[in-house]
Amino acid sequence: MILQLQSKYSGMLQQCVTGMLQLIKRVFGTINVTIPKNFSEVKAAVSDMLVPVHEYDVCINDCIIFKGEHADSMTCPSCKKSRYKPEKKQARKKYHYLPLIPRHLQLLEIGKISGMLQEHSKASQVMTDVQHSFAWQ
């Protein structure tokens, strides 16, 4: 729930999440419930349920991803722009990739979504669009 709030209000800082957890602990401290101490503990608690995100450095002009033969390159071989911000070893631009197959497998583990994805087997033999399934009606 805390992470949903942080996602909904994108400006909500991690320190704010930690402050809310401390408030919750103060209010409900007498109840025997384990409440995470800070944002890191909340994130660690749900990390096993999340699909891993792959993060890559990319050229500022989107020429290449610094991966494979370019994994250690300091500049883009195409446009010659620097990979990192000046005087920092911090990439100027990053690309976040959420692998498709683990994400779909995770969706299939949720009973309701799995049922909706398999709805076509209950419909007529020929389904031309997912919107023709019972779940969408």
In the complex with Zn ion, the residue whose CB is nearer, 80 or 103, is 80
Residue nearer to Zn ion on the CB measure, 41 or 62: 62
- Residues 44-83, interacting with Zn ion (CB under 5 A): 59, 61, 63, 76, 78-79
Q: Which is nearer to Zn ion, 2 or 59 (CB)?
A: 59
Q: How many residues bind Zn ion (CB under 5 A)?
A: 6
- Answer whether 4's CB lies under 8 Å from 12's CB: no
- What is the distance between the alpha carbons of residues 104 and 90, in angstroms, rounded to a whole number? 32
How near is the Cβ of 56 to Zn ion at its closest, in Å?
14
Q: Is 117 exposed, middle or buried (0-12, 13-18, 19+ CB in 10 A)?
A: middle
Burial classification of residue 59, based on how many CB atoms lie within 10 Å of its CB (0-12 exposed, 13-18 middle, 19 or more buried): buried
* Minimum distance from residue 65 beta carbon to Zn ion (Å): 10
Question: Interface residues with Zn ion (CB under 5 A)?
Answer: 59, 61, 63, 76, 78-79
